[in-house]
Structure 1
Amino acid sequence: MTGGLLWGFTLVAVIGVMTPGLDTMIVLRHSVSGARTGLAAVAGISVGCLVWGTASVVGLTGLLTASEVAFNVVRVLGAAYLLWLGSTMLWNSLRRKGSDVDDVEPEPRERTIWSALRAGFLTNLLNPKVGVFYMSLLPQFLPPGGSSFGWGALLVAIHVTAGAVWLSCVVWAAGRMRVVLARRRVRRWLDRVMATVLISLGVKLVAEAA
């Protein structure tokens, strides 16, 4: 019984993390600056998911789900961050000039890694739908009569691990294509596409909260 639940959740988690989305785009964008930067984004995303997963296990996200005001506050904060991130990225890409072959001068490594970590973490932490995802999914895979806390923690660990492994593969794949992705023209358009997606998601979140 429990084995079937475990494998069922693992399958759902793997399919979920492999579905292209905002996390994949964030990791791909930061991987252009190098594997360490890409892995920093993966770490930020993993920590953000871990925070939501832990909150779900102890029941804190139940309060968020029950309170429309609290849910909308988190949603608006997330929308504001996405709009800021997308607008900044779009502005930087529009003012970037120079050769289409040579890459731009990179930022200091410490700041780049920190920016990637922060982007991955805040994008997940300020997205209440991640908490709702855990709250709606975890109860379906909890065994009857078992330890809900221990089993829930195991399921969260499986999801976070699956996400970290898959996104690390994205970092590796981006590294293989770095010669192409690092070109100014490609990087500029990659930034613009991602900025458009971020701004669109931000506007969508604001509209949903209205």
Structure 2
Amino acid sequence: MDAQLIAFTGVAAGMVALPGADFTVVVRNALAYRSAGVATALGVAGGLLVHTALAVAGLAAVLVAVPVLFRTVQLLGGAYVLYLGIGALYAARRRTTTDTGGTADEPAGRGSARALRQGFLTNALNPKAPVLFLSLLPQFVPDGQPPLPRTLLLAVIVVLLALVWFPAVALLVDRMGRWLRRPRTARAIEGGSGAALTALGLVLVSGPLVH
């Protein structure tokens, strides 16, 4: 067995499962209805595919080396996460003045497309992901091995882990939907996710340049 590959899989699994903006958006959309949660999960995996492809191609190094580009991505990502957070807070407030307990009645096709886009942009605009992948992947390329095939394999592992974890989270939330969609619980989750996303967005927008 390839000990380095096993070690990388463990590290990558922990990285993917670590709660953050991706996790929050998946849970929030899965709370609305299952297809939205799964679509968001697939969007997150698509964002990870972009980051890993950039790292494999070496383009992430350019982003990290040019402060203006890095800061631009940071601002865009922060603004988008902030937008999602404010939207979630508004939705939580609206729940207090409307009937609740039901699921969203938005047409599934349009809602799933929007959820897919949200998941993709939340991950793809994460400014720290290129730095993480650029620093992580080379650590698991054995000496003497061609780097491209190995980094491609590592990238595939990350995306596959995301394709397992995030849809599983969405399905679990849907499975627990009867309890999670109770008015008081739904408001708490909506408000909590909105507060978390808003705080993260503010940190990304106002925080110092990070390398």
TM over 0.5: yes
In 2, are the aligned partners of 1:104 and 1:184 still within 8 Å (CA)? no
Partner of 2:65: 66
User: Normalising by the residue count of structure 2, what TM-score does the alignment of the two structures yield?
Assistant: 0.92
Give the whole-Å Cα distance in 2 for the aligned partners of 1:188 and 1:115. 21
Q: CA deviation at 1:204?
A: 0.6
Partner of 2:119: 120
Partner of 1:7: 6
Partner of 2:158: 159
Q: CA deviation at 1:89?
A: 1.8
Q: CA deviation at 1:207?
A: 2.2
Alignment of 1:36-51 (within 5 A): 36-51=35-50
Q: CA deviation at 1:133?
A: 0.9
In 1, are the aligned partners of 2:73 and 2:127 still within 8 Å (CA)? yes
In 2, are the aligned partners of 1:89 and 1:191 still within 8 Å (CA)? yes
Partner of 2:17: 18
Partner of 2:201: 202
Partner of 1:93: 92
User: Normalising by the residue count of structure 1, what TM-score does the alignment of the two structures yield?
Assistant: 0.92
Structure 1: unaligned runs, 5 residues or longer: none
In 2, are the aligned partners of 1:75 and 1:209 still within 8 Å (CA)? no
Superimposed CA distance per residue, residues 28-49 of structure 1 (whole angstroms, 9 cap, x where no aligned partner)? 1111233221110111000000
Give the whole-Å Cα distance in 2 for the aligned partners of 1:136 and 1:54. 14
In 1, are the aligned partners of 2:24 and 2:197 still within 8 Å (CA)? no
Partner of 1:34: 33
Give the whole-Å Cα distance in 2 for the aligned partners of 1:83 and 1:53. 24
The number of equivalent residue pairs is 208
Give the whole-Å Cα distance in 2 for the aligned partners of 1:67 and 1:43. 30
Give the whole-Å Cα distance in 1 for the aligned partners of 2:93 and 2:106. 17
In 1, are the aligned partners of 2:60 and 2:131 still within 8 Å (CA)? yes
Give the whole-Å Cα distance in 2 for the aligned partners of 1:196 and 1:152. 36
Q: Name the aligned partner's letter for residue 98 of structure 2.
A: G
Deviates more, 1:178-187 or 1:126-135: 178-187
**3-state DSSP class of the match of 1:32?**
helix
Superimposed CA distance per residue, residues 145-191 of structure 1 (whole angstroms, 9 cap, x where no aligned partner)? 22211110110110111122112221221122111122233222211
**3-state DSSP class of the match of 1:185?**
helix
Partner of 2:139: 140
Deviates more, 1:123-132 or 1:175-184: 175-184
Alignment of 1:163-174 (within 5 A): 163-174=162-173
